[in-house]
A = this chain, B = another copy of it.
Amino acid sequence: MTRWKCVCAYDGTGFAGWQSQRGGGSVQDAIEGRLAEVLGVDTRIHASGRTDAGVHARGQVFHFDAAWGHGPGKLSAAIRSRLPRSIQIVSVREAKPDFHARFSAKGKVYAYYVRIGDASPFERPYCWTVMRPLDPAAMLRAAALLEGRHDFKALSATRGTEDDDPGGTVRTLRRLQVVARGRRVRLVAEADGFLYKMVRRIAGALVAVGEGRLSADDLQAFLRAGARTARVETAPPQGLFLERVLYR
């Protein structure tokens, strides 16, 4: 058995999220379905983490174990040729036996796209459309406050399961960029790890600041309170892209 590390990209529009579910329809279901055909045996894949329905990925990583003797190039070609158009296998490499897509990860990078005013049909599945103008300077100041090591519970959501946040809610947000270009604003967030819906709630908070509905002081108060707050909106899934998973 060899452990394989795969990088994949997917357009999340038509999927019920990453995670396998009864009835299928997830990205994991699609990839495991093709793997079973290629390998002739049911094979479980393990991702760096789940993405919600409608969320996209340019660099999701997963691993699996398989007895395959024809090298990574042929394995990659075999999986690729049978996948739906909305999933792309970017690379397949042999990994060390102790590599784990989730537990070996040292961090992740997400991007979130906001568009001010009516988006074209080509952008709509890939951004959050907001109708009011945004103040990028205010968003930048708020983003700077969020960077660093904080308890991000206020900017997370519960999955509704008992094992919510088993590792606590403190994370290090290494980078939170706000890049405004005309009617488009791109947010880039890098952290050692993200809580559930954390990027979408950061996006919701920054847009609220950009529209003047919340202040940077409000955000700081939410962080300090350390409790989930309904005053921060969760931005919709289609603006979110898992860009990269970082390993040593």
What is the interface of chain A, defined by CB distance below 8 A to chain B? 9-11, 56, 58, 80, 85-88, 118-122, 124-126
Contacts and interface: CB of A to CB of B under 8 A. Distances in A.
Contacts of A10: 121
B88 A125 contact: no
A118 B83 CA distance: 13
Contacts of A87: 121
Contacts of A126: 122
Given A9-B120, A120-B9, A125 B56 contact: no
Contacts of A119: 88
Copies in the complex: 2
A87 B119 CA distance: 11
B118 A88 contact: yes
11 contacts: A9-B122, A11-B122, A58-B120, A85-B121, A85-B124, A85-B125, A86-B121, A87-B121, A88-B119, A88-B121, A122-B126
Contacts of A86: 121, 124
A125 B122 CA distance: 10
Contact of A11 (B58, B80, B85, B121): B121
Contacts of A121: 9-11, 85-88
